[in-house]
Amino acid sequence: MSRLVLLYMGCEGQTQKITERIGYCLSESGHDTVVSSIEDLKDDFSLESFDGVILGCSIRYGKHHRECYQFIEKYRDQLATIPSYFFSVNLTARKPERRDPHNNRYLQKFLKQISWTPDRVEVFAGALLYTRYRWVDKQMIRLIMKLTGGPTDVTQNTEFTDWRRVKAFAEQLNQDFGKISRPVATYGRQRVENGSAMNVC
């Protein structure tokens, strides 16, 4: 099967959680997977030893994280040489019409700004984690939710992620990478460098 790296950039942990779920599903399908935060990558990190890369990033105040842009710019040549995928995590995707990648303005704006064309993209709804936000962020996000019809009780957290969609994305990746042959025994099963794949696929 394939040796894959799954990288993520987020704030409160939901993007990491989604990435780890995808990594777990791919590992269960026989792929060798490495999961890591972009921030934890070492200076000598390279994509050359991987058969594919899956990159996930959340947004805050309408923009994907700067570190994600920087990663793409730094590794754009390597990204062009292997199968590569991207998923965006944002709260607008809690609405059915915004879950379509073609109809999610944040994702479409992001794709126009980067020097990389992923082989496949997806959008997942994130989580509204009021209890983890700084006071200023909590008030700003509460105002945004009020304007867009979302939850405004700052004492409650709400997870909007549709895990069936996450599983379906992982299954599609497994089909794509299943066409690549590499002995899994050379690399072992799964390594999660940041957190653990606790969720069952």
Mean pLDDT across 163-181: 87
**Torsion sign across C-alpha atoms 82, 17, 92, 114:** negative
Residue that wins the pLDDT comparison between 97 and 34: 34
pLDDT of residue 187: 35
Mean pLDDT across 99-128: 92
Mean pLDDT of the chain: 87
Cα distances (angstroms) measured from residue 71 to each of 26, 37, 55, 66: 23, 11, 10, 9
CATH number of 3-126+161-192: 3.40.50.360
Considering only 46-50, 110-114, 147-151, 164-168, which range has the smallest mean pLDDT?
A: 147-151
pLDDT of residue 6: 98
Interval 185-197: pLDDT, tens: 333 334 444 444 4
pLDDT of residue 200: 59
Q: Domain segments of the chain: what residues?
A: 3-126+161-192, 130-158
Q: Which residues make Cβ contacts (< 8 Å) with residue 157, sequence separation at least 6?
A: 127, 128, 129, 130, 131, 132
Tokens of 188: 């072992």
C-alpha distance across the termini of the chain, in Å: 18
